[in-house]
Structure 1
Amino acid sequence: MTLPVRHRAGSLLGRAFPAGGWNEPAAAEFDELWERMNRLMESAAAAPAGLAWSPAADMRETDDAYVIEAELPGVKRDDIDIEMSDREVRIKGTYKEQEREGVLRRGTRRTGSFEYHAVLPADVKAEEAGATLSDGVLTVTLPKAQAAKPRRIEITGS
C-alpha cells in the first residue's frame, strides 16, 4: 500500500508564516491531525493479510430504490455474496490473487477478503432486490417498500 509522504523538516509552526500570519492554534491542530492520520495509515498498511478490506462504493437514493455501486474490478461473480437482513445489506467476497510469470517487483492491488456493509434509512422489498456485475462495477438495486416512498399531501381550502 502506498502511503502519503510527509517531509519531517519541520511542522507547520516551524515554517515561516505568511505576511498576514497564521492562526497558531489552528496550525497546531492541523499538525496533530496530520500525525494521527499518518499513524492510522501506517497501522492500516501493517494490518494482517487475513482482514477484510472494503471496496470503494457509492449508495444513492432514487424515488423508487436505493442503489449501491461497488467497484470490484477483476472479481468474478461466483466470488461475491450479497446478504440482506432487516435494513442492512452486506456485500462480501474474495478477490483472488492472479498467477503471474516472473518476479513481482511492486504490487499495490488488494487481494483477499472484502466486505461492504450499509444500513439503509428505510425498509426495502428484499424479495425484489437485484444485482448486476458489469465492467468491474457491482450494482445492487433495493426497491423501497411502499411506506418508505414520499407521498405528496395536497393542501385544501381554509
Structure 2
Amino acid sequence: MATYWDPFQEMDRLMGTLAANTRNAPDMPMDLFREDDHFVLAADLPGIDPGSIDVSCEDRTLTIRAERTPRSSEGRWLLRERTSGTVARQVALGRGLALDHISAVYSDGVLTLTIPVAEEAKPRRIEVSHARSPERTAIEA
C-alpha cells in the first residue's frame, strides 16, 4: 500500500482544532484539493475589492490578505452580520511545492490559487538494468 504525503495535512489539522475552539465561521473559508501535479486552494472572498487582495509567500508560509470595505448607510442598521475590515489567512506549505510558480485568479468572489508540485517532488520511474554475468574463461593446466 502506497503512502500518500500531503504537505497541507498538519496545517489542516491545526486549523481544524482552532476552528473547533471558535464559535464563528472563518472570514475566509477555504477548500484545498490536489489535481494531478498541482494543488488548488479556493478561498471565498465575497464583497472584496480585487485591488486589495495581497497574496505572499515567505519562508513556506502562504499569506492571503484582503480588505472588505464597510458599507455605509444613512439609515438605522437592523441586522449587521457581514464583517468588514481586513481578513487574512495563513497556510504553512510543505516541501516539494514550486513556490515560485504559484498563480492566483479572483473571479465571482472566489480567489483561486494554483500551487504546482515541484519537478523534483514528482514521482518518476527508475529504469533497472540487468547486469550480465561475467563470461567464463577456460583455464588451462
The TM-score range, normalised by the shorter chain, is: 0.5 to 0.7
2:109 to 120, 133, 136: 136
- Greater percentage in helix: 1
Distance between the aligned counterparts of 1:136 and 1:155, measured in 2?
A: 50
| RMSD (CA atoms) | 2.6
| Residue pair 1:86, 1:123 contacting (<8 A) in 2 also | no
User: Rg larger in 1 or in 2?
Assistant: 2
Deviation track 1:63-113 (CA, whole Å, cap 9, x = no partner) reads 221211000001011111101124321101221112224211111111111
1:82 paired to 2:55: yes
CA distance in 1, matches of 2:41, 2:22: 27
**Equivalent position of 2:76 in the other structure:** 103
Q: % of aligned pairs identical?
A: 32
User: Within 2, Cα distance between the matches of 1:70 and 1:151?
Assistant: 32
| 2:27 and 2:83 in contact (8 A); partners too | no
Q: For 1:132 and 1:155, how far apart are their aligned partners in 2? A: 43
- Structure 2's unaligned 5+ residue stretches are 1-19, 131-141
How high is the TM-score relative to the length of structure 2? 0.66
Q: Tell me what 1:120 maps to.
A: 93
Please report how far the alpha carbon of residue 155 of structure 1 lies from its aligned counterpart in structure 2 after TM superposition: 7.8
Cα distance in 2 for partners of 1:99, 1:154 equals 66
Query: In 1, Cα distance between the equivalents of 2:22 and 2:112?
Result: 30
Q: TM-score, structure 1 length as denominator?
A: 0.60
Contact map agreement 1:124 1:142 (CA 8 A) in 2: yes
Whole-Å separation in 2 of the counterparts to 1:40 and 1:128: 34
Task: List alignment gaps of at least 5 residues for structure 1.
Answer: 1-36, 45-52
